[in-house]
Structure 1
Amino acid sequence: MEREVMSFDVVIVGAGVTGLAAACRLKQLAQEHGQEITVCVIEKGSEVGAHILSGAVMDPKALNELFPDWEQRGAPLHTPASEDQIVWLRDAKQHIQIPNWMAPKTMHNQGNYLISLGNLCRWLAEQAEALGVEIFPGFPAAEIVYHDNGAVRGILTGDMGVDKDGQPKSGYIPGMILEGKFTLFAEGSRGHLGKQLMEKFALNAGKDPQHYAIGIKELWDIPAEQHQPGLVIHGSGWPLTDDSNGGFFLYHTDNQQVAVGLIVDLNYRHPGLSPFDEFQRMKHHPVLSQYLKGGKRVCYGARAITKGGFNSLPKMTFPGGLLLGCDAGTLNFSRIKGSHTAMKSGLLAAEAVLDAILNDEVEATTFTDRFQQSWLYEELFSSRHFGPAIHKFGAFWGGAFNTLDQNLFGGNLPIQLRDQTHDHQQLKTSAECQPKVYPKADGLLSFDKLSSVYLSNTNHEEDQPCHLRLLDPELPYQVNIPLYQEPAQRYCPAGVYEVIEEDGQPKLQINGQNCLHCKTCDIKDMGQNIQWCPPEGGGGPNYPNM
């Protein structure tokens, strides 16, 4: 099919903080050099920020570099962190508060801000458009387009108006090719195009496999007497067991709201574990319920988190493009922060790309040196042991190791911890485990999946091809259901996967309309049989201020 082609100097996939920071910096640098440069950002969400979800406590150091006058420009950083509390939940009732001096210094938040990352992206989009960046929401990047020599040429946007059998409907609009001298991939965690680039260019050769977690988050309006603006609570322990690691957060933001969530490492071993249900029962612990009782839950969402850190970082450059931010894995899990590091990768990419364009080069080769000489590299390198220590020793002793490493040795303990097992290879069979039984939701502090998905404002056009594809449709019936009782129906936080009975036989039903685009199924499926692909543009959650 002949496709319409639009040409730019730089095409950026994803209007998160990475892509928008890169776009803004490209325009700033071009102006400084007296150059004209065209920059396009495409975003699969219905609007900028619609698919953005993060805790989030933000270190403003990268924002300071991009817009030193961000406060005067009205950036939505309104609530400075005022107090850190770090707790260990011993069981469903008891806890121990860890003195701040005993916690890794990377978890101290003085000078940081409690924010909505979605609202920050909306503000960054305004700054980008004022600089002349073209932003197209509602346009997913469906495929990578290559030159004959193998270099990336750009991307193909998804077709609009295709029915579930792949046939054009009335109002069909074919996707178009957006080509550029460079294409920056900033899709967020487990980007579907990033996966392809890793394989084609062997970007992660010699590296540890990437590791992930699922983060589940709710926003609550709470009574004024329970609200302490700037209070940051992090914790771990109950309800996660020795077979699973992770931790929770509760942030007192502005407007009498709190953000509460649970992060579960996706290397967990029990096939019956449900991160959603662990989160729901966790909210009943007195450490959290004291703030949530009498409040109202107003939003819900979930997202995968790329947390392999320094040991899993791929090569980020290739002919015609770069892989950036959480698409590459720049999050610093020791700080439970990734927005400042993602932004910095975008700023460094902008410098390297403009240099390559001005010198008529096909690969932004100066990026690697810029990265290795930056505070981003130093921060990730000094935290390289954090994730492997938790995976190897568990949350308690791993936390103790990390306190020693960070506070006494500055991240330079003379040992090398690695985690070289893929997350999807960790599950035990159901026969090896005792069944997990979760309490019924009470409708006050804990809720079911469907009412939660409703609060995410998720919507997909029903008559379209399913964007959750099984490479082998028979594998669930040969392996997943008989050996693991199909864990997809538990690790999915949106009720997308169900095993129902049809003619006396189990049938895997995929409710793609519920999908939050968290990518957990793409990561955790044991046979790597589930492939997440972008649905029709604008589909998915519509988060207001997550």
Structure 2
Amino acid sequence: MMKLGVLRRYMSSVAATPRVKDFVDLCVVGAGPAGLTAAIKFKQLDTENKYRVVVLEKAGDIGSHTLSGMILEPRAMLELFPDFKEECLGNKAENGVMLDPVVADQFKLLTKTGSVPLPLTPGLTNEGKNYVGSLSTVVRWLGEKAEELGVELYTGVSVSDVIYNKSNTGVIGVATKDLGIDKNGKPKDSFERGLEFHSKQIVLAEGCHGSVTKEILKKFDLRKGKSNQTYGLGIKEVWEVKPENFKKGMVAHTMGYPLSADLYGGGFQYHFGENLVSVGLVTGLDYENPYVSPYQEFQKLKHHPFYADVLEGGKCIAYGARALNEGGYQAIPKLNFPGGVLVGASAGFMNVPKIKGTHTAMKSAMLAAESCYAEISKLPSFESILEEKGEENVDISEEPLLDLASYDNALRNSWVYEELYKVRNVRPSFNTKAGLFGGMMYSGIDTLLLNGKAPWTFKFNKSDAALTRPAKEFTPKNYPKPDGKLSFDILTSVSRTGTYHDDNEQCHLRVGPEQDLEAYARESYPMYKGVEQRFCPAGVYEFVEDESVEGGMTFKVNSQNCIHCKTCDIKAPTQEINWTVPEGGDGPKYTIT
């Protein structure tokens, strides 16, 4: 192993090598629904094609890192593309987009072996107005639309650094991660220095708990006066089921089993395409018991008759997992900072009672694009500046920065805020001692009778990590072994994600300030008895007995398994795991999720 001091000196010499700079008018980080929508809307307004818009995406292909249920509420999509239905729905779709009208809704409370029908809440009424399908295919379609408008899409590039102005008071750009650094920090033959993108405005659309967004939130204190954000872990499979078990356009949501009454969450099954069923479980990460395994809870869910009757005899063809923002209205941070804005899940616009966030994410991006264009259109394009001055004479590090309060104001006066405000108390109501049934009762009163007009707003006072309690206060959970038919071991599931990381690249999961895994094991294991290997849905973390070390336990990080869900960064009780971007193109390769 390279000694730490030598590694630091080497990395300092690499960092001293200047990156190549590129100047763009609008730089979007992340090519999910929000990022692509922001780019598209900006270019729709830029009718003279005057300004250069770049989207940077860490996935190797557009849509490869996009995971969702998904039920699409088309409100924002129709604002962006009025002809969307004619082009993308059902048998009319000739572009690979899998969307079908919802024709039936079910909402059930599951007991261990049975189920009780529950009245549909307004948010879970989808029949006749919403669409079910694959979000990754919708994102690929949005990517095609963006390119048609002249947006430059760069895939396989991970944004790792923020570029601040000379006074360190604002953002003037971002930089992509160096390629070809081996696990010991040495350059491989494939080494390439990252690129810098300097821009008039940076749009952060990284998705939930993005690494750059995390830095920006802290740097500019954008959560000041806001509730703590809370998260859920969504785990999902796509199955090809027997034709007799398939009900095209049917969607179902469940609560109760297998989750205990003190765990927030619920399951779903969505029927779409040709004999395809999305099945999944969302588990709130604010649970206290470190013996809980969201992955194992999901395996149990599939053996319940309500799910098993559909899946038996079918074939699991895809798997994925992703953290979700669940804090709602009261946890939305300030949306603008000097030089940039937050959109989509980077800010946290998920409507938890609806279990939907695509429509709100897209609308936030449209409003951000309108504010960006309103200000950027007053300025000359970088292309004209470069032609006049030459690239070597252009430096924006001391230029005045755009700080788009107009976007934050527009969002707070939009239907997005109105929608989220109405349901602001639903998710936190489940955090009371009344648990599942108390939360269900309050939610019914709040949504059906009060219509969200209660004169109070509940908050999340602690982080999900801080809520984790010592293992000695709980009894270990004994989860059943997988049968290989409906339930699977974790590595079999990971094999269905298409995940790839080079075994000989620097670990992107930073454990403590010195990457001292033995020290981490000494601190975490005695208190939480391996919570990391239970909250991770990809088998990344392991505790291994080792009598040769102090404490008798070592911590192993299988970073090549990582499917970029970000759960470790959110839930680790010691907050000593920092998820950073790996090399561009690494990670899962979702296709129909």
With the shorter chain as reference, the TM-score category is over 0.9
* 1:253 aligned onto 2:293: no
Q: Which residue of 1 aligns with 2:32?
A: 16
Q: Residues of 2 paired with 1:297 and 1:286: CA distance? A: 17
Q: Which residue of 1 aligns with 2:83?
A: 69
Task: Verify the 8 A CA contact 1:146 1:154 in the aligned structure 2.
Answer: yes
Percent identity for Structure 1 against Structure 2: 40
- Segment drifting more, 400-409 vs 121-130: 400-409
Deviation at 1:369, TM superposition (A): 2.0
* 1:106 aligned onto 2:123: yes
Q: Residues of 2 paired with 1:121 and 1:263: CA distance? A: 22
- Counterpart AA for 1:137: T
Task: Verify the 8 A CA contact 2:235 2:281 in the aligned structure 1.
Answer: yes
Task: Verify the 8 A CA contact 1:106 1:406 in the aligned structure 2.
Answer: no
Task: Verify the 8 A CA contact 1:356 1:363 in the aligned structure 2.
Answer: no
* 1:388 aligned onto 2:407: no
Aligned length: 540
Deviation at 1:71, TM superposition (A): 2.9
Q: Residues of 2 paired with 1:443 and 1:203: CA distance? A: 46
* 1:130 aligned onto 2:148: yes
Q: Which residue of 2 aligns with 1:314?
A: 333
- Counterpart AA for 2:38: A
Q: Deviations over 1:326-369 (max 9, x none)?
A: 11111111110000011011000000111121345611221122
Q: Residues of 2 paired with 1:244 and 1:479: CA distance? A: 26
Q: Describe how 1:90-169 pairs up with structure 2 within 5 A.
A: 90-91=111-112, 93-100=113-120, 104-110=121-127, 111-149=129-167, 150-169=169-188
Deviation at 1:123, TM superposition (A): 0.1
Q: Which residue of 2 aligns with 1:228?
A: 247
Q: Which residue of 1 aligns with 2:418?
A: 378
Q: Residues of 2 paired with 1:396 and 1:537: CA distance? A: 45
Q: Deviations over 1:421-446 (max 9, x none)?
A: 11101112111101100000001110
Query: Would you identify which runs of 4 or more consecutive aligned residues in structure 1 move more than 4 Å?
Result: none
Q: Which residue of 2 aligns with 1:341?
A: 360
Q: 1:356 aligns with which of 375, 385, 392?
A: 375
Matched residue SS, 1:535:
coil
Q: Normalising to structure 1: TM-score of the pair?
A: 0.97
Matched residue SS, 1:272:
coil
Q: Residues of 2 paired with 1:390 and 1:278: CA distance? A: 19
Q: Residues of 2 paired with 1:77 and 1:315: CA distance? A: 35
- Counterpart AA for 1:9: D
Q: Residues of 1 paired with 2:207 and 2:231: CA distance? A: 12
Q: Which has the larger radius of gyration?
A: 2
Q: 2:565 aligns with which of 518, 521, 528?
A: 518
- Segment drifting more, 418-427 vs 45-54: 418-427
Task: Verify the 8 A CA contact 1:237 1:396 in the aligned structure 2.
Answer: no
Q: 1:41 aligns with which of 38, 55, 62?
A: 55
Matched residue SS, 1:415:
coil
Q: Normalising to structure 2: TM-score of the pair?
A: 0.89
- Segment drifting more, 71-80 vs 375-384: 71-80
- Counterpart AA for 2:405: T
Q: Residues of 2 paired with 1:204 and 1:359: CA distance? A: 30
Task: Verify the 8 A CA contact 1:188 1:326 in the aligned structure 2.
Answer: yes
* 1:80 aligned onto 2:101: yes
- Counterpart AA for 1:85: Q
Deviation at 1:240, TM superposition (A): 1.0
Q: Residues of 2 paired with 1:136 and 1:455: CA distance? A: 25
Matched residue SS, 1:161:
strand
Structure 1 unaligned residues grouped into runs of 5+:
none
Q: Residues of 2 paired with 1:306 and 1:124: CA distance? A: 23
Q: Which residue of 2 aligns with 1:54?
A: 68
Q: Residues of 2 paired with 1:26 and 1:131: CA distance? A: 10
Structure 2 unaligned residues grouped into runs of 5+:
1-16, 380-400
Q: Which residue of 1 aligns with 2:476?
A: 435
Q: Deviations over 1:246-305 (max 9, x none)?
A: 100110111100000000000011111110001001110001111001100000010000
Task: Verify the 8 A CA contact 1:355 1:364 in the aligned structure 2.
Answer: no
Q: Which residue of 1 aligns with 2:226?
A: 207
Q: Which residue of 2 aligns with 1:408?
A: 449
Q: Deviations over 1:12-65 (max 9, x none)?
A: 00000000000000000111xx46111000100110011110001110000000
- Counterpart AA for 2:232: A
Q: Residues of 2 paired with 1:243 and 1:380: CA distance? A: 24
Q: Deviations over 1:205-229 (max 9, x none)?
A: 0101111010000000001010001
Q: Which residue of 2 aligns with 1:240?
A: 259
Q: Which residue of 2 aligns with 1:479?
A: 523
Q: 1:529 aligns with which of 557, 576, 585?
A: 576
Q: Deviations over 1:172-226 (max 9, x none)?
A: 1100101110010000010011110011101000101111010000000001010
